[in-house]
Amino acid sequence: MASLGTLTRPGDVRSLRPPELAELAQELRELLIDTVCRTGGHLGPNLGVVELTIALHRVFDSPQEPIVFDTGHQAYVHKVLTGRRAGFGTLRQQDGLSGYPNRTESRHDMVENSHASTALSYADGLSKGFALRGEHRTVVAVVGDGAMTGGLAWEALNNLGASGRPVVIVLNDNGRSYAPTVGGLPRHLRRLVEHQGYADVVARLGGTPTDDREVADPHSLFGALGLHYLGPVDGHDVLALEDALQQAREHGRPTVVHCLTRKGLGYRPAETDEHDRMHSVGKLDVATGKPASAGARSWTQVFSDALVDLGDRHTDVVALSAAMVEPTGLAPFAQRYPERCFDTGIAEQHTVTSAAGLAMAGAHPVVAVYATFLGRAFDQALLDVGLHRLPVTFVLDRAGITGPDGPSHHGIWDLAMLSIVPGMHIAAPRDATRLTEELTEAVAHTGGPTALRFPKASASEDTPAVACWRGLDLLHRPARPHVLLVAVGPMAQPALAAAHQLAERGIRCTVVDPRWVHPVNHSLADLAAGHRLVVTVEDGIREGGVGTHVAQAFTDLGCDVPVRTVGLPVDYLPHGSRANLLSRYGLDADGIAQAVMIGLEDGELDAAPLDGQPHLHLAGHRGVS
């Protein structure tokens, strides 16, 4: 009998008999369900590739024949079969296994691939490199059909089709990325299936084809690009998969193996989840598939409600998503206004330029995207939206430290990146009320692009301002203060806690939320004049972030109060809980208080004169400044 405990290297699966393969697949599914329900992670995608991953390791000799997963969220079974079974229970936990392929974990992880549509370009480069060294090595790219909606994938296919090199493209066709795959590609894949007489495979994923599935179809997109095509094949039949993969390997030229799979297969709650087949989940009750505990309202939910309300009041508001309507909170808006919500597929560059076109036509587009993914469309934000001063609002979910998803998903670059787009205005709400207010202000702004950022977390409790002055919210205002704490978005709460800690040491701090953090509100310099030190606190990289721009603005305005920035290093941060990582990098109350103490080490603590402080009123300007 096959057992995961007896498999110590990927080649071990080659010795298993057909009955043992079914037992192994069942054991793998049980491990996935048990582990991911405890740790959270990508459940549906991995349940759908159990047999496919077994077949890959029965045919190909990893890492001599590297296997690149696109995206890496379907690589859990690969991790288990490449010697990481013992540590699988630490998945996505601090100092445990990464939720994506990771080069430091295993030589079988050639690429740390967690952004979609990249595997074919990696495979093209790897195959070129091997050829230059005189090595005949097959490269395998496992590509979800959702990832094939990204333009980068087609740029790579254009090169691969003319290369003649031994690259096997395993097209994992489950009809979905998060939600059902959109655009012309899924229709084309269905036509290929129907053309070969395998429509029943799509319907029931049953029956193993026994004829030669090699296709030379001049009407196939793949054939037109010069790629060989094999398929379709039942992606849950290991022996059928082996046969097709072996044919592709022996062919020795770029070949597409079209596999039909079911996302979430083997776990009833995932199979019946209409939203995304449990694509990515938190901790779950295994028996029911329900969250282990009811969480507080998230920032995403707050945004979702606010956008629907804006849509009700403004007919020009439209929404766009790059294959993430549900995760970014656009689903309620899409249900209310289906004609005003556009899912572009995994194609951030196209999404942003399409939004530019919508704005040119008189709409106000709201582009909802994870902060980490906006970097893929920076050129479009800079030159297609920014250059034309178009009223496009970017809503950046998962900004700052995201936690267990690791270095590729931490949204720590956006403040530095977007702040160099001329005309860009950036808001960082500190709580749910401010998110609603600032989204309203962004949509009302017609002079150029705007952006709002918020983290992957429960929305912060409302923190009312004690005073509002020239667009600034003062959250704490002691008499005769020493230090001005400038808190960016949700950093307001730890900044306030730090102010209370420091007060016990005789150090009095003003805490201000600029609301719109870029461009720098020049009133900050007037406010700073009544303090000995300014400390900015942001959950983005320090270099080029809010603190950098505050310091530059003070220099330009002749304000000589020193500025110290508390933020994140320019580095790839590890995975772990959001709270632990914030603490590790000094973005909790203790870390902020320590930064203030260090900043004051060489100074006197005698308070600045009150005459140096502007008089603050309880009302002030609201909106993009």
Q: Which residues participate in catalysis according to the annotation?
A: 263, 348, 376
Residue 468 DSSP one-character state: E
* 3-state SS string for 132-149: HCCCCCCEEEEEECCHHH
Span between the terminal Cα atoms of the chain, in Å: 69
Q: How distant is the alpha carbon of residue 380 from its chain centre?
A: 18
With a CB cutoff of 8 Å and minimum separation 6, the contacts of 144 are 45, 70, 71, 74, 116, 172, 174, 177
Q: Which helix (H) or strand (E) holds 367?
A: strand 364-370
Q: Is 285 left (phi over 0), alpha (psi -120 to 50) or beta?
A: beta
Element (H, E) at 595: helix 589-600
Cα–Cα distance, 75 to 553 (Å, whole number): 47
Say which residue the tokens 């008499």 belong to: 479
Tokens of 604: 């006197």
In this structure, what are the phi and psi dihedrals at residue 195, rounded to the nearest 5 degrees?
A: -60, -35
The whole-angstrom separation of Cα 525 and Cα 612 is 11
Q: What is the DSSP letter of 409?
A: T
DSSP 180: B
Supply 577's token pair: 């809980």
DSSP type of residue 43: -
Q: Which residues pair with 370 in a beta bridge?
A: 397
- DSSP lists the bridge partners of residue 568 as 541
The partner residues of 397 in beta bridges, in order of sequence, read 370
Looking at residue 172, what DSSP letter applies? E
| 20/11 Cα distance (integer angstroms) | 15
**Gyration radius from the chain CA atoms:** 27
Strand partners for 411: 399, 400
CA atoms within 13 A on the CB side of 592: 31
* Residue 225 and residue 161 in contact, taking contact as beta carbons nearer than 8 Å: yes
Which tokens in the block code for residue 619? 């009302």
DSSP string, 225-268: TT-EEEEEEETT-HHHHHHHHHHHHHH-S-EEEEEE--TTTT-H
Alpha-carbon distance of 367 to 374, in angstroms, equals: 10
Is 403 in contact with 355 (CB distance < 8 Å)? no
Identify any residues that bridge with 255 across adjacent strands, giving them in sequence order.
168, 228
Distance, CA of 426 to CA of 148 (rounded, Å): 32
Which residue is associated with the tokens 């977390």? 457
Measured distance CA(170)–CA(497) in Å, rounded: 52
> 312-334 burial by CB neighbour count: b if 16+ within 10 A, else e?
eeeeebbbbbbbbbbbbbbbbbb
Closest CA to 276 of 38, 117, 43, 77: 43
Which residue intervals of 391-446 are DSSP H helices? 414-418, 432-444
